[in-house]
Amino acid sequence: MGSVERVNTTPSRAGIDRYSVILVAVAATLWVSDAYFRNQLIKHLSPTQIVVAEDALIALFLLPVLIRSWHEVSGLGVRGWIAVGLIAVGAQSLATILFTASFSYQIYAETLVLQQTQPLIAIALAWIVLGERRRPWFWPAAAVALLAVYLVVFAQDPLAPVSALQKGRLEAGLLALGAAAFWASGTVLGRYALGSISFWSMTSLRFTVALPVLVVIVLFQYGPSGFSHYQPSDLWPNLLAIAIVPGLLALLLYYRALSKTPASLATIAEMAYPVAATLIFWAPPPWGFNQPVYPAQVVGTAMLLAVIVVLNWSKENAPPVVARPLAVAES
């Protein structure tokens, strides 16, 4: 066995490392904050137009970071670039578009229930790509987390997904599954890339590499006129708020925490996103829709929080991911 290198860790970094699973959940919760600001823009901008503007702003903010860390990025290697490219094209660009398109069929229950396949896909990919193996107690915890999210999302009508899957359209289901697969791969490939680069560089590359892809998508959908629908009032506060809070701050926190969290644990913590997205409807307008709180939602939220805390308390140390071929890991 090789020698173990001792690394001096400041108290603040040690705290982040110790609570990394919880911080992944916090980052996922921050993603929900874009709902209010996005609602102000969706009246005259498409989801793709909003995403490309958000991505451009974040890429601009992180350009100095990317330039400063170019020596690190330049040594990423072919496989690392493949991972970053798949994250930028899939998790950052196509997943949001597919998920939004699935909602256009107005079969919301089908979309939401199929979205819950995301952690299952991520766990499978973490096993294949990263060689992660979880201890037996992890699987009951994952099952409880899935049940918790189900209780929150479908508290009003627990049988809604059954009828939705029976009467739903195949296209809507495929779009939702595609989005889930892209987001799941983003978790695993992000963990892989963080074995070679810092979380600052990873965040910078995610948005910078995705930008030309999103520009091409807007041009394909609308032509050059697709960039003529923005209004001066869009920038402040809506686009800037989306770019800074659920975009820049949330992704920096997410990748910093992910660097010390196994991908299969991180994907469970990310389930805080659909729970937070559902619970935001409790808030009064304009932040929410003033919907009633159901007992099942309270129970489900408590269950998920308990699972996240337990996973954080009992998580195995996440060793640095050693860059290796994106192929089947050795058993």
pLDDT in tens, the chain (331 residues): 333 333 445 555 666 788 999 999 999 999 988 877 877 787 788 888 988 999 999 999 999 999 999 888 888 889 999 999 999 999 988 887 888 777 667 666 667 777 788 999 999 999 999 999 888 889 999 999 999 999 988 888 887 777 766 666 677 788 889 999 999 999 999 999 998 899 999 999 999 999 999 999 999 989 999 898 898 888 888 899 999 999 999 999 999 999 999 999 999 999 998 888 877 777 776 666 677 788 998 899 999 999 999 999 987 655 555 444 444 333 3
Task: Report the amino acid identity of residue 270.
Answer: E
Give the pLDDT score at 41: 84
pTM: 0.86
Helices (H) and strands (E) in the chain, counts: 19, 0
Long-range contacts of 64-70 (CB under 8 A, 24+ apart): 65/200, 65/201, 65/203, 65/204, 66/201, 66/204, 66/205, 66/208, 69/197, 69/198, 69/200, 69/201, 69/204
> If you write DSSP's letter for every residue of 228-279 in order, what string do you get?
S---HHHIIIIIHHHIIIIIIIHHHHHHHHHTTS-HHHHHHHTTHHHHHHHH
Least Cα distance to 269 among 287, 292, 290, 253 occurs for 253
53 Cβ neighbours under 8 A, 6+ residues apart? 45, 230, 234, 239
- Any idea where the domains of the chain sit in the sequence? 20-314
128 Cβ neighbours under 8 A, 6+ residues apart? 328, 329
Angle between helices 199-222 and 78-86 (to 10 degrees): 50
57 and 239 in contact (C-beta within 8 Å)?
yes
Q: Which tokens sit at 232?
A: 């001066």
